[in-house]
C-alpha cells in the first residue's frame, strides 16, 4: 500500500528496500529521507516485506511515499515472479527513471526490474565485496553480476573492489552521512543515569548490532582490563540482534562480562532508537569490528554529538579518522591496544574534549546527511541525464 492509497505518484527515483528491520543501510535511508525534501518529492520507496520491523511506517512519518509488496523468497519461484511483476508495474506506473537497490538483496530485484522498466539500475553498495566474483555468496553474486549502470560505494575501500568486480560499470564514492544532533545536557545526564554512570565516573560505550564480526567481545575483554586499573570507569553495550542473526551471541557476551568481573560495571541496553541520546551520555565511544568496516556509521554518529571515538583500523574508519586529531585507530582483534587507548582517554579529559570538537567539524563538512543527500541526487541525475 502507499500513503493515502490511490494511484501512484509520478517519481524519478524508485528505491528498493528488502527488510523492514533497521540496520545500518536502513538508518542511512531514514536519514536521507528525513533530511532531503527533494528526495521525498522525487522518490518512491518499495519494500519487499522481509523482517518484522517498522521501517515503512518510520519512512511515512518522514513524509516518504512507500509501497509495501508481499514477501517472496527465492525458494518460492512463483511468488518471486509475482514480486518482480509487481515491482515492474510500480516502476512503470510511477515513471521511475532510476531504480536504486539499497544493498545486495534489493539490487538483485531492482537491477532486473530496472531493465524491464527501461530505467537506470543504481546499486547503493554498503559492503566491501570480495574479489574475484565467485568468492561472494549467491545473493551478492547476483547483485554484482546483474544489470547495473551505476554503483555507489560508501568508502574508497568499497569502491576499489567494485572497480575490480565490474570494471566497465561507472562507480562513484558516496560517503554515508548523519544528522548533526544537539542533545540537551539534561537529557544526556538523564541517559547517563540510565546507563549506570555517575557524574564522577567515565562512561565508555560500544554501539551496533550484536554480531561476532562487530567485536563486542573484544570490547568486553578490554573493559575488564580498564576496570581493574580504573575503578571509576563504567561501560555500556548498546544494540541487539537484528535480522535474526546470531541471537546466542548476547548470552555469550553476558557470560564473558561475569567472567571479567564486570557484572556491576557494564550495562546491556538491547536495541534502542535513541542512539544519539545514549552516545551523548558517553565520554568515549568505541568501534570494535573484527574485519574492515565498509564505512562505520557509528563513528560519525558519535562525532555528530561531539564524542571522541576509538575505532578499528581498516576500511571506512581509516578514511573517517585520517589523523590523530580526528580520533584513535587500533588494530583489529587487539584488546591490548584498545585497553591502552581507553586508558589514554580516561586519563585525559582535555583530549576527549578536543577530539569531540574536531569530530563535530568533520561531520559538518564531510559526513553530514545534507552533504550525502545532495551528492546522491547529483549522481542519480547524472545517471538519468542521457536516458
Residues 7-33, mean pLDDT to the nearest whole number: 94
Tell me, what's the pLDDT at 8?
A: 83
What are the phi and psi torsion angles at 386 (to 5°)?
-105, 20
State yes or no: pLDDT of 248 exceeds 90: yes
Q: What would the grid cell of residue 354 be?
A: 578536543
Tell me, what's the pLDDT at 75?
A: 64
State yes or no: pLDDT of 81 exceeds 90: no
Residues 329-351, mean pLDDT to the nearest whole number: 98
State yes or no: pLDDT of 1 exceeds 60: no
Mean pLDDT of the chain: 95
Tell me, what's the pLDDT at 6?
A: 57
Tell me, what's the pLDDT at 244?
A: 83
Residues 267-273, mean pLDDT to the nearest whole number: 95
Under a CB-based contact definition with an 8 Å cutoff, are residues 203 and 236 in contact? yes
> What's the CA gap between 373 and 33, in Å, rounded?
8
At residue 160 the predicted structure's pLDDT band, cuts being 50, 70 and 90, is very high
Tell me, what's the pLDDT at 330?
A: 98
Which residues are 49's β-sheet partners? Answer: none
Of the listed ranges 82-86, 227-231, 266-270, 369-373, the least confidently predicted one is: 82-86
Residues 159-164, mean pLDDT to the nearest whole number: 98
Of the listed ranges 62-76, 83-97, 139-153, the least confidently predicted one is: 62-76
Tell me, what's the pLDDT at 3?
A: 44
Residues 141-154, mean pLDDT to the nearest whole number: 98
Question: Which residue segments constitute the domains of the chain, with CATH numbers given?
Answer: 13-177+368-384 (3.40.50.2000), 185-365 (3.40.50.2000)
Tell me, what's the pLDDT at 73?
A: 67
State yes or no: pLDDT of 51 exceeds 80: yes
pLDDT in tens, 279-311: 999 999 999 999 999 999 999 999 999 999 999
Residues 78-90, mean pLDDT to the nearest whole number: 88
State yes or no: pLDDT of 349 exceeds 90: yes
State yes or no: pLDDT of 78 exceeds 80: no
Residues 21-29, mean pLDDT to the nearest whole number: 94
Cα–Cα–Cα angle for 293, 298, 123, rounded to 5 degrees: 55
CA 284 to the chain's CA centroid: 20
> What's the CA gap between 329 and 314, in Å, rounded?
9
- Strand order from edge to edge, sheet including 170-173: 66-68, 43-50, 13-19, 98-102, 120-125, 150-153, 170-173
> What's the CA gap between 114 and 250, in Å, rounded?
40
State yes or no: pLDDT of 167 exceeds 60: yes
At residue 386 the predicted structure's pLDDT band, cuts being 50, 70 and 90, is confident
User: Which spans in the chain are helix H?
Assistant: 24-35, 37-42, 55-61, 77-94, 104-116, 138-145, 156-165, 185-194, 216-229, 249-259, 275-281, 297-304, 316-320, 335-346, 349-365, 369-384
Q: What percentage of the chain carries pLDDT values higher than 70? A: 96
Residues 64-73, mean pLDDT to the nearest whole number: 87
Q: In angstroms, what CA-CA distances link 322 with 152, 316, 328, 341, 358?
A: 21, 10, 9, 17, 12
At residue 72 the predicted structure's pLDDT band, cuts being 50, 70 and 90, is low
Closest listed residue to residue 239, CA positions, set 187, 281, 275, 292 = 275
Q: What would the grid cell of residue 211 be?
A: 554480531
> What's the CA gap between 315 and 341, in Å, rounded?
20
Tell me, what's the pLDDT at 2?
A: 47
> What's the CA gap between 92 and 344, in Å, rounded?
57
> What's the CA gap between 178 and 367, in Å, rounded?
6
Residues 27-50, mean pLDDT to the nearest whole number: 97
Amino acid at each position: 500500500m502507499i500513503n493515502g492509497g490511490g494511484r501512484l505518484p509520478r517519481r524519478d527515483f524508485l528505491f528498493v528496500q528488502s527488510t523492514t528491520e533497521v540496520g545500518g543501510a536502513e538508518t542511512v535511508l531514514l536519514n536521507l529521507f528525513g533530511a532531503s525534501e527533494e528526495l521525498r518529492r522525487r522518490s518512491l520507496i518499495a519494500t519487499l516485506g522481509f523482517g518484522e520491523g517498522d521501517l515503512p511506517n518510520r519512512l511515512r512519518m518522514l513524509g516518504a511515499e512507500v509501497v509495501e509488496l508481499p514477501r517472496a523468497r527465492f525458494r518460492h519461484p512463483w511468488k518471486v515472479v509475482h514480486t518482480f511483476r509487481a515491482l515492474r508495474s510500480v516502476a512503470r506506473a510511477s515513471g521511475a527513471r532510476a531504480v536504486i537497490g539499497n544493498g545486495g538483496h534489493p539490487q538483485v530485484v531492482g537491477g532486473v526490474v530496472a531493465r524491464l522498466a527501461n530505467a537506470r539500475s543504481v546499486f547503493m553498495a554498503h559492503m566491501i565485496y570480495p574479489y574475484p566474483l565467485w568468492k561472494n555468496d549467491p545473493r551478492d553474486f547476483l547483485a554484482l553480476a546483474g544489470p547495473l549502470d551505476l554503483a555507489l560505494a560508501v568508502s574508497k575501500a568499497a569502491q576499489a573492489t567494485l572497480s575490480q568486480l565490474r570494471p566497465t560499470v561507472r562507480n562513484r564514492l558516496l560517503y554515508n552521512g548523519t544528522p548533526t544532533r544537539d542533545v540537551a545536557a539534561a537529557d544526556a545526564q538523564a541517559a547517563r543515569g540510565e546507563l549506570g554512570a555517575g557524574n564522577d565516573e567515565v562512561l565508555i560505550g560500544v554501539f551496533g548490532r550484536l554480531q561476532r564480526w562487530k567485536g563486542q567481545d573484544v570490547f568486553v575483554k578490554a573493559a575488564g582490563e580498564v576496570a581493574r586499573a580504573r575503578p571509576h570507569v563504567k561501560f555500556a553495550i548498546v544494540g541487539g540482534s537484528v535480522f535474526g542473526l546470531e541471537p546466542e551471541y548476547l548470552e555469550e557476551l553476558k557470560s564473558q562480562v561475569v567472567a571479567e568481573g564486570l557484572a556491576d560495571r557494564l550495562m546491556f541496553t538491547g536495541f534502542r532508537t535513541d542512539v544519539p541520546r545514549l552516545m551523548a551520555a558517553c565520554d568515549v565511544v568505541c568501534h570494535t569490528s573484527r574485519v574492515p568496516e565498509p564505512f562505520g556509521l557509528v563513528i560519525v554518529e558519535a562525532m555528530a554529538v561531539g564524542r571522541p571515538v576509538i575505532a578499528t583500523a581498516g576500511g571506512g574508519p581509516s578514511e573517517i579518522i585520517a589523523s590523530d586529531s580526528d580520533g584513535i585507530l587500533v588494530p583489529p582483534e587487539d584488546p591490548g591496544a584498545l585497553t591502552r587507548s581507553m586508558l589514554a582517554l580516561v586519563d585525559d579529559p582535555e583530549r576527549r574534549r578536543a577530539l569531540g570538537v574536531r569530530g563535530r567539524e568533520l561531520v559538518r563538512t564531510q559526513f553530514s546527511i545534507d552533504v550525502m543527500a545532495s551528492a546522491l541526487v547529483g549522481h542519480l541525475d547524472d545517471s538519468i541525464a542521457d536516458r
